[in-house]
């Protein structure tokens, strides 16, 4: 008898925002995203996001998460 592994690996749903220009403003870099897409993700209630660079396997990406915390609490992490 053979045991079958029940691996439930969830596949993330991705949304392609197309090619975006990276703008240079002094020492910062800015990327504009559509308002509608951000409001669908819950970004309409806050003007602050947690920004995380994720590196796994051969992939690198930036993760944005809406937050209601103050800037001081985000910097402490």
- Output the 3-class SS for the chain: CCCCCCCCCCCCCCCCCCCCCCEEECCEEECCCCHHHHHHCCHHHCCEEEEEEEEECCEEEEEEEEECCCHHHHHHC
| Mean per-residue pLDDT, 32-45 | 76
Q: How many CB atoms lie under 10 A from the CB of residue 50? A: 12
pTM of the model: 0.53
pLDDT of residue 20: 86
pLDDT of residue 59: 87
- Residue 24 pLDDT greater than 90, yes or no: yes
- Residue 23 pLDDT greater than 60, yes or no: yes
């Amino acid at each position: 008898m053979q045991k079958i592994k029940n691996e439930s690996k969830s596949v993330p749903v991705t949304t392609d925002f197309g090619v975006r220009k990276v703008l240079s403003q002094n020492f910062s870099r800015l990327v504009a995203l559509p308002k509608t897409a951000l409001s669908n993700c819950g970004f309409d209630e806050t003007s602050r996001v947690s920004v995380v660079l994720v590196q796994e396997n051969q992939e690198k990406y930036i993760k944005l998460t809406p937050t209601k915390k103050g800037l001081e609490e985000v910097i402490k992490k």
